[in-house]
């Protein structure tokens, strides 16, 4: 009964395929004389939602997150015409973009924040049942679950952790 909530690998591969399709369409339209920052902005606006559709509630396996991260990083490599063996983290930092694992964590934390502070008591209760999962994510970034109230503060904390890793 609960297996329906856990997406299998073929569904995830479908999202990765749609990401590549949207990305290739953008790159084809921009052509070879493209502005890299515009391409990154379009990738974030149109391709990222396709790649992470519903990711906030997925039980994502490490392999699924890795294949999505590879697709995300390949987008940066293609835009900036870099070698596949080079790290894209400096490019992401330059473009004020987070690596995909950080984006996933940020989106999950915002989702749970909305659930915890929802007007619907059933949603609040369900979110409180999962407080341990939220707490585990908060521990990664060294802040308290109560800090979920300030979205800007949360974004700054996640960005600080990423920028310290460079």
Instruction: Provide mean pLDDT across the span 85-90.
Output: 92
**How far is the CA of 123 from the CAs of 10, 56, 80, 100, in angstroms?**
29, 15, 43, 27
Contact in structure between 123 and 132 (CB atoms under 8 Å): no
Q: What mean pLDDT is reported for the chain?
A: 85
Q: What CA–CA distance (Å, rounded) separates 155 from 141? A: 10
Contact in structure between 101 and 65 (CB atoms under 8 Å): yes
Question: In the prediction, which pLDDT does 11 show?
Answer: 57
Question: In the prediction, which pLDDT does 131 show?
Answer: 80
Burial of 43 (0-12, 13-18, 19+ CB in 10 A): buried
Q: What CA–CA distance (Å, rounded) separates 10 from 13? A: 5
- The crossing angle, in degrees rounded to 10, of helices 151-164 and 100-116 is 160
User: Does 84 score more than 90 pLDDT?
Assistant: no
User: Across 7-21, 75-89, 107-121, 135-149, which has the greatest mean pLDDT?
Assistant: 75-89
User: Does 39 score more than 90 pLDDT?
Assistant: yes
Q: What CA–CA distance (Å, rounded) separates 165 from 14? A: 31
- Domain parsing of the chain, residue ranges: 1-96, 98-166
Give the tokens for residue 116. Answer: 């915890």
Higher pLDDT, 3 or 15: 15
Higher pLDDT, 3 or 81: 81
Question: In the prediction, which pLDDT does 147 show?
Answer: 64
User: Does 40 score more than 60 pLDDT?
Assistant: yes
User: Does 8 score more than 60 pLDDT?
Assistant: no
Contact in structure between 105 and 158 (CB atoms under 8 Å): yes
First vs last C-alpha separation in the chain: 43
Burial of 9 (0-12, 13-18, 19+ CB in 10 A): exposed
Query: Residue 24 — very low, low, confident or very high, per pLDDT cuts 50/70/90?
Result: very high
**Predicted confidence (pLDDT) per residue in 111-149, tens digit:** 888 888 889 999 888 888 878 778 888 888 877 776 666
Burial of 1 (0-12, 13-18, 19+ CB in 10 A): exposed
Higher pLDDT, 3 or 10: 10
Instruction: Provide mean pLDDT across the span 44-50.
Output: 95
């Amino acid at each position: 009964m609960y297996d329906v909530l856990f997406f299998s690998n073929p569904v995830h591969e479908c999202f990765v395929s749609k990401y590549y399709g949207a990305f290739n369409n953008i790159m084809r339209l921009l052509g070879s004389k493209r502005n890299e920052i515009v391409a990154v902005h379009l990738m974030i606006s149109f391709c990222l939602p396709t790649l992470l559709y519903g990711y906030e509630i997925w039980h994502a396996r490490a392999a699924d997150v890795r294949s999505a991260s590879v697709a995300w990083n390949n987008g940066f490599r293609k835009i900036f015409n870099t070698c596949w063996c080079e790290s894209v983290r400096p490019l992401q930092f330059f473009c004020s973009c987070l690596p995909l694992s950080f984006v996933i964590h940020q989106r999950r934390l915002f989702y749970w924040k909305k659930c915890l502070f929802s007007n619907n008591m059933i949603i609040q209760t369900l979110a409180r049942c999962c407080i341990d999962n939220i707490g585990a994510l908060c521990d990664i970034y060294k802040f308290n679950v109560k800090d979920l109230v300030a979205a800007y503060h949360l974004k700054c904390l996640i960005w600080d952790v990423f920028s310290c890793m460079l």
